[in-house]
Amino acid sequence: MRSVLVHAGVLGLAVALGLSAWSSDEKEVSPEAVTERVEVWGGSPDSLETMRFDAKERTVVIEAKKDALGRYYVAKVDKVEGKAEKRDPHDPHAPPDSSSADAGAPVPGKRTTMRFIGVKSADELAKQVAPLMALRRIGAIEPKRAEEFGLDKPEGTLKVKIGGKEHALVIGGSTPGGGERYAREVATNLVYAVPSYIAQNMIGAESRLLERDLHGFEDGEVTRVRLTKRGKSREVIAIPDKKGSWADPATPTKADETTGNWMTKLDRLRVQEYVETPSTPLRPEEAVVRIEYLSGSKPLGFLELYKVPSGQASEYFVKTERTRWVVKVLTSAAEQVDQDLSSVLK
């Protein structure tokens, strides 16, 4: 009995010490461990005017637009491509005004600028920043802790304009899990943990935000397609419950495999490059075909394909309701659509 009592006493002491340690740890939990979803600033995607990201080797500016089809975004990316290298004093291609004093001096990378249209991914980003919701609020930090949060050498600064009011956020380092970024709001000097998605999309804007889909509607929505080329016109209808199958309205249940194959090739076209202002306007004689997509009698969208001479070869350009601008598409994919058109539009 005495042995049992001794063991019970030891167990009770261990439990008490454990509770004490747990209680002590709870009091010393760092601010980073407190989870709460808080608003950094308010707003809505409809009131968003611009987003801007300034970093060491890139500047991204995104302007919000709206038309009859909904919101879209015009993006501009200025960036430096390639790493800086030391100048070779024996380089025969060195600038004529360079001197021996330039030998070994760093040569900056090439600066490039591109503009493009963003729709789906850009709109998702807009919803993330207007309003901006942080996953955690860290609060004010002492200057000596800036390195701890990656704010001594920030990734860049995000600036947004919502309803005429400007907000700024300095993007720091990643949280231990990597799913969030520490960021400091300039107006309040408070530090938050915000979704990494925001910084990632600005750092890789030209690949992440560029809209590559030519249409916003789903394949299943299209019940009828009208093809037109210089006076020739034809309509085909989708066969219900047979994805990718098309038929002539005169024989609505009989699949036209030739048309089905051609429509599949048409669906493979993707945006390769946006052309805000073509060097020469696209001419009617360069038009390959115009396609109108309908759901019953309701128009869903259109596609115009153009073939433009370029040296000894040709380039293909497309205009649709979603792209807003003219876009360049892959030549090899567009050639198949062009070459097989005669077998569909007789």
| Span 255-277, average pLDDT | 96
Tokens 């915000």 locate to: 194
H-assigned helices in 204-330: 205-208, 257-267
| Span 76-98, average pLDDT | 65
| Span 248-259, average pLDDT | 96
Q: Are 80 and 111 in contact (CB under 8 A)?
A: yes
At residue 108, the pLDDT reads 66
| Span 277-291, average pLDDT | 94
Residue 288: pLDDT above 70? yes
At residue 296, the pLDDT reads 95
Could you give the angle at which helices 120-129 and 196-203 cross, rounded to 10 degrees?
A: 130
Percent of the chain at pLDDT > 70 equals: 82
Most confident listed range (93-97, 130-134, 178-182): 130-134
Question: H or E segment at 332?
Answer: helix 331-340
Q: Are 77 and 206 in contact (CB under 8 A)?
A: yes
DSSP for 256-311, please give it. -HHHHHHHHHHHT--EEEEESS-SSPPPGGGEEEEEEEEETTEEEEEEEEEEEEET
pLDDT-wise least confident of 26-35, 70-79, 231-240, 302-311 = 26-35
Q: In whole angstroms, give the CA distance from residue 183 to residue 199.
A: 10
Strand order in the sheet with 110-118: 110-118, 70-81, 58-67, 48-54, 156-162, 165-174, 180-185, 191-195, 136-139
At residue 15, the pLDDT reads 43
Instruction: Taking the CA atoms of 108, 109, 110 and 114 in sequence, report the sign of the dihedral they define.
Output: negative
Q: Are 209 and 121 in contact (CB under 8 A)?
A: yes
Give the confidence band of 346 by pLDDT, cuts at 50, 70, 90: confident
Q: List own/partner pairs for 252-260 with CB under 8 A and 24 or more apart.
A: 258/343, 258/344, 259/344
| Span 168-183, average pLDDT | 94
Q: Are 41 and 132 in contact (CB under 8 A)?
A: yes
**DSSP letter assigned to residue 318:** E
> Over the chain, what is the mean pLDDT?
87
At residue 107, the pLDDT reads 60
Residue 196: pLDDT above 80? yes
Q: Are 300 and 217 in contact (CB under 8 A)?
A: yes
At residue 28, the pLDDT reads 33
Beta-bridged to residue 309, according to DSSP, are 314
Q: In whole angstroms, give the CA distance from residue 105 to residue 85.
A: 8
At residue 96, the pLDDT reads 52
Maximal CA-CA distance, the chain: 107
Rg (CA), the chain: 30
Name the residue among 215, 207, 228, 209 with its Cα closest to residue 319: 215
Residue 130: pLDDT above 80? yes
At residue 297, the pLDDT reads 94
At residue 106, the pLDDT reads 56
Residue 13: pLDDT above 90? no
Residue 84: pLDDT above 90? no
| Span 118-130, average pLDDT | 97
State the Cα angle at 336 between 335 and 337, rounded to 5°: 90
At residue 34, the pLDDT reads 45
Q: In whole angstroms, give the CA distance from residue 73 to residue 120.
A: 9
19-66 confidence digits (pLDDT tens): 443 333 333 334 444 455 899 999 999 999 999 999 999 999 999 999
Q: In whole angstroms, give the CA distance from residue 123 to residue 176.
A: 28
